[in-house]
């Protein structure tokens, strides 16, 4: 796959085929992805790769927490202005593709819960880092390796969705995985073979016109 095609075609995949991903393939994806840049080559990333019964147990506990109304602080809920509008826009695109009406509470809940159970993907990658490195430079590095994973996955026919929803309840992840309190859990990546018939997988998210956020000097 050409690099330009991979970058152009990557999109979040929220519906997966019931087909497992081999440990070998996941290893290859991660091996490739860890060629990512990092500040001072610190490589702050650590991964927990989860599948099978363990993934099911985490998903079940996430859903139980969600249904019982366990709340957590979420700074990314506080979007304003243009950023809020973009969030609303992608939500509208996704709900539209799935045919979920604004007032359809049961279907909206169904959709919400899918995120908390990794969109029923056959595998998930939990990305975490040492808490001592939780400053902007190293968080940036986590983003770089995350993007690389998403791009590399495509070369193996895999789809991904980076997500915060599934790591909302850090206690759940720590219970099922050997991730100590000294580690900060950054995000999850649902990963698997995309279901071509899942409507939300056809959504192409919009991007701001480049000229609206770019300034050129000295040309
Ligand atoms: C750090 C991060 C967290 C995200 N969390 C979620 C999430 O919890 N649920 C979800 O459905 N998508 C999540 N996404 C996916 C974004 O919604 C998606 O990348 C964005 O809308 C652009 O769409 P695209 O990936 O298809 O280009 C997340 C993406 C990032 C980078």
Predicted confidence (pLDDT) per residue in 3-14, tens digit? 999 999 999 999
Ligand 1 atom with the smallest distance to the CA of 187 is: 1
Fold held by 3-71+116-198? NADH Oxidase (3.40.109)
- The alpha-helical segments, DSSP class H, found in 75-135 are 81-98, 105-116
Q: Is the CB of 114 under 6 A from ligand 1?
A: no
SS3 21: coil
pLDDT tens-digit readout, 155-198: 999 999 999 999 999 999 999 999 999 999 999 999 999 999 99
Report percent pLDDT > 70 for the chain: 99
pTM exceeds 0.95, yes or no:
yes
Considering only CA atoms, which residue is closest to atom 21 of ligand 1?
90
Question: Probe ligand 1: pick from 124, 161, 202, 208, max atoms within 8 Å of CB?
Answer: 161
Q: How confident is the model at residue 106 (pLDDT cuts 50, 70, 90)?
A: very high
40: left (phi over 0), alpha (psi -120 to 50) or beta: left
pLDDT tens-digit readout, 29-63: 999 999 999 999 999 999 999 999 999 999 999 99
- Which of 123, 117, 122, 128 is closest to 47 using CA atoms? 128
Q: Is the CB of 117 under 6 A from ligand 1?
A: no
Residue count of the chain, please give it: 219
Q: Is the CB of 160 under 6 A from ligand 1?
A: no
Q: Is the CB of 168 under 6 A from ligand 1?
A: no
CA of 155 to the centre of ligand 1 (A): 20
């Amino acid at each position: 796959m050409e690099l330009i095609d991979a970058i152009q075609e990557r999109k979040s995949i929220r519906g997966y085929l019931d087909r497992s991903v081999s440990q070998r393939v996941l290893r290859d994806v991660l091996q490739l992805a860890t060629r990512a840049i990092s500040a001072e080559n610190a490589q702050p990333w650590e991964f927990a790769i989860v599948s099978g019964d363990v993934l099911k147990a985490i998903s079940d506990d996430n859903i139980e927490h969600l249904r019982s109304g366990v709340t957590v602080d979420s700074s990314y809920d506080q979007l304003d202005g243009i950023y809020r509008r973009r969030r609303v826009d992608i939500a509208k695109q996704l709900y539209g593709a799935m045919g979920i009406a604004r007032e359809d509470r049961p279907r909206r809940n169904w959709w919400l819960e899918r995120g908390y159970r990794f969109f029923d993907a056959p595998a998930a990658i939990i990305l975490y880092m040492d808490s001592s490195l939780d400053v902007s430079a190293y968080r940036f590095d986590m983003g770089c390796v995350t993007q690389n994973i998403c791009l590399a996955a495509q070369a193996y026919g895999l789809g991904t969705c980076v997500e915060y929803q599934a790591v909302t309840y850090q206690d759940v992840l720590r219970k099922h995985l050997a991730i100590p309190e000294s580690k900060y859990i950054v995000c999850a990546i649902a990963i698997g073979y995309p279901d071509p018939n899942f409507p939300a997988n056809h959504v192409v998210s919009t991007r701001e016109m480049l000229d609206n956020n770019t300034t050129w000097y000295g040309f």
